[in-house]
Chains A and B, each alone.
Chain A
């Protein structure tokens, strides 16, 4: 009899042991809790690139500039006042004497210099934003090239500590959005003293330069020292992050929610059920099906608003395709014909979330005062004329062409609709080629395609975050469309000090792009937030979909 009981008892003990081993337990509900997709990729501000990381970045850190919680315009952050020279190339930041790290130590100029130097030596996705600082690009390149006897010289980088409270930065030319760059997490400061414990074996370069390596564990709860409204209290990997108000933050009087939880969820349906059951106050994303269902029944908790990104098709503009065959899209008339032959309303009828059909590349309404040009609207007769002029009347003789897309979301359905329209309106039948996202990206970046699905989301508050993509030296010019007029307009805008004039120049550049049609814009993305209006206050519906958590308050 005893033997019979041994096995179940052993199994129950084993199970209990495994449960203890796997951890868990519940904690008191935070003042504000939200789900923003899965786990963050990094809490190292120098390396941040995903939206969910950047949102956390704004909670934990504060740059020289920060963002206004409602308008998201750059406003002075932990530096005030900020003196800008008349030619707008020299910024002198006076760091607030009351600005403090979460360990109580004052924020000083060298914190920024340390972080920026580290980023130039160990570059990430957004390091290029520092290239506007005199000497920064040269330093990054020299450090990477690592030629013996030629160590990179950081003293040539014009970000200089005048005194512990004063930082002077000199730019290559006036950069209208430099405050926005300063307010972007990759440019946030780091507290070197608190990181000393996590120093790893340094890298000695061939050039003789020594690079300080830090163990990744410096970003763990208890180790990470930050200077923003919040500090990291607890981080259970892929489960939850807890932020608590930083008691030393200079603007602590205006921090509304004292405790914030970020719940990690890899499944959008689970996230919505979690919200519906009252487990979280805000979810940043919805699955396509749930979103269109809520949208159709006008659910009051669903908040749909334009996003800072465009969905479009990209044409390869090279003379020859990668397989050596002539590329029909090299001819501007062919690109224009394909663009004019698509009715965009039918596309947003597929996506069903109130996306805005668009003939433009830069999302409409993204920049206040931007005189958006008119793009190529549907005009089948003109499309057919252009196609005939290019040598393919009625689509005759047009080479076999593939339309490339990645298999996620509803890209296949959209591709099917566009294919049908091209077949009907131009008499050209393209082949649909769906693939896994990594393969698709590879093909797009190596220009191994003829027509491909694409999208672009802006990073900072300036049209150049869109227009730069099609500049000659851009690594992201997937169309390989090179246009002198566009290039010179972009360069002109880069150095134009007058804000309104700049916008007008960018509009001219966008007009050139839209007329030359290296891309076929389909629609402006929308964001879909879910939260209860009556409970959650201070969560702005801004096109750039960024939030300053300190101003969010939940009334239960």
Chain B
């Protein structure tokens, strides 16, 4: 196991380097001048001076300089926000997105697994239909509709939650809920399908036959096995949720990382694009690794180190 983790950790820099290069190429060939910010064109002398400061006179000088800087933990200067570095931007935004994402994932996992299990148990029944509709809504309604609807209803009309800046738990509830809906729906569907499989398997029948209660069989024996596909889904889902959502953060005006993913591209803020992509990639790779390790813990029969 230790060896498996070590190999995977050693692979990280290689994968990150590939992602970095690909992003760099896309960023560099995209049309549009990152140095012109308003409709007004600026003096070429000014542009040259800014390029020199950013080591962006040519792609070679940029590539020669930037990765070295990044390894040292310095993501360089942002072109959108002059006074702060990309590291500052990530440092300010990431904790916010992670808190919100954690809340959303907690809601998604608990609610999703419960709904999925209950739906499987009452297969074809009323609750199953209910769970199916929740899942359908969660998967098909885009978060800007859900987010805006929640915002308009609970903040605007009913005034149940404050319209305020980030900082209190009450300001997190609605965005957390909006963000949780999609992963919750997926988790509910995954749990339901695999739980239905489990419930008709031999060991469940045996457990029931030896006199265990229905609840113990379902929640202890069934769920433990049914939850495996959910765990594999959790890797990429957590990476996406914890690094922030553009839409939910925009609707609720949350100073997280989500908006930078889109705005940095629109602004051609090359260093910020590279910075956010790297953060996202690190999250994604780390969570996938955690998921692989978690498999082994949840189901000791799975040998992640086995060669194919």
Contacts and interface: CB of A to CB of B under 8 A. Distances in A.
Interface of A: 11, 14-15, 18-19, 21-26, 39, 41-44, 47, 49-50, 122-125, 127-128, 140-141, 144, 216-217, 219-220, 236-240, 263-267, 269-271, 273-274, 276-277, 279, 436-439, 441-442, 445, 454-456, 475-476
A19 B169 contact: yes
Contacts of A219: 83
A475 to B, nearest CB: 5
Contact of A475 (B42, B169, B172): B42
A237 B88 contact: yes
Contacts of A25: 167
Interface in B263-303: 263, 266-268
A216 B37 contact: no
A123 B46 contact: yes
Closest 7 CB pairs of A and B: A24-B167, A438-B32, A42-B82, A22-B95, A18-B99, A238-B255, A270-B253
Interface in B215-234: none
A239 B255 contact: yes
A141 B156 contact: no
A122 B49 contact: yes
B134 interface: no
Given A123-B49, A144-B49, 20 more contacts: A11-B106, A19-B169, A24-B165, A124-B42, A125-B37, A125-B40, A128-B43, A216-B84, A240-B165, A266-B250, A271-B253, A277-B162, A279-B163, A279-B164, A437-B32, A439-B32, A441-B33, A442-B32, A445-B41, A475-B44
Given A274-B163, A442-B32, A456 B46 contact: no
Contacts of A456: 39
A454 to B, nearest CB: 7
A271 B151 CA distance: 12
Contact of A14 (B102, B151, B166): B102
A18 B98 CA distance: 7
B172 to A, nearest CB: 8
Interface string B72-98: 000001001111110011001101101
Interface in B240-277: 250-253, 255, 259, 263, 266-268
B45 interface: yes
B40 A439 contact: no
Contacts of B84: 216, 237
A436 B266 contact: yes
A341 B102 CA distance: 58
A391 to B, nearest CB: 33
Given A15-B99, A19-B99, A439 B45 contact: no
Interface residues of B, number: 60
26 contacts: A19-B169, A21-B95, A24-B166, A41-B37, A41-B81, A41-B82, A122-B49, A123-B49, A125-B37, A125-B38, A144-B45, A237-B88, A238-B92, A266-B250, A270-B250, A270-B251, A274-B253, A277-B163, A279-B163, A438-B32, A438-B266, A438-B267, A441-B36, A442-B32, A475-B44, A476-B40
Contacts of A239: 165-166, 255
A147 to B, nearest CB: 14
B48 interface: yes
Pick the most buried of A24, A39, A41: most chain B CB atoms within 10 A of its CB. Answer: A24
Given A15-B103, A273-B163, A436-B266, A267 B168 contact: no
A439 B92 contact: no
B224 to A, nearest CB: 12
Contacts of B96: 22
Contacts of B45: 123, 140-141, 144
A22 B31 contact: no
B228 to A, nearest CB: 16
Contacts of A49: 37-38, 40
Contacts of A26: 164, 167-168
B121 interface: no
Contact of B93 (A43, A238, A273, A445): A238
Contacts of A442: 31-33
Given A23-B95, A266-B253, A454 B39 contact: yes
Contacts of A217: 83
B155 interface: yes
A41 B80 contact: yes
Contacts of A22: 95-96, 98-99, 166
Interface string B141-176: 000000010010001100100111111110010000
Interface in B20-55: 31-34, 36-46, 48-49, 53
Pick the most buried of B31, B40, B151, B250: most chain A CB atoms within 10 A of its CB. Answer: B40
A21 B81 CA distance: 22
B163 A47 contact: no
B102 A18 contact: yes
B82 A273 contact: no
Contacts of B168: 24, 26
A436 B172 CA distance: 33
B31 A15 contact: no
B273 to A, nearest CB: 13
B49 A43 contact: no
Contacts of A19: 99, 169, 172
Given A24-B166, A144-B49, A239-B165, A441 B32 contact: yes
Contact of B48 (A42, A144, A436, A475): A144
A204 to B, nearest CB: 13
Contact of A270 (B81, B102, B163): B163
A441 B252 CA distance: 30
B36 A273 contact: no
Given A216-B84, A438-B32, A125 B95 contact: no
Contacts of A141: 45
A264 B80 CA distance: 15
B95 A123 contact: no
A49 B98 CA distance: 33
A141 B45 CA distance: 8
Contacts of B89: 237
Contacts of B53: 122
B46 A39 contact: no
Nearest to A18: B99
A15 B102 contact: yes
A25 B252 CA distance: 17
Contacts of A11: 102, 106
B167 to A, nearest CB: 3
B54 to A, nearest CB: 13
A386 to B, nearest CB: 29
Contacts of B88: 237
A62 B169 CA distance: 40
Given A24-B167, A437-B266, A438-B32, A216 B82 contact: yes
Contacts of B32: 436-439, 441-442
B79 to A, nearest CB: 9
A476 B251 CA distance: 36
Contacts of A269: 148, 251
Contacts of A39: 81
B112 to A, nearest CB: 14
Nearest to B53: A122
B163 A438 contact: no
Contacts of A220: 83
A44 B83 contact: yes
Interface in B50-66: 53
Contacts of A124: 42, 46
Contacts of B43: 123, 127-128, 475
A216 B77 contact: yes
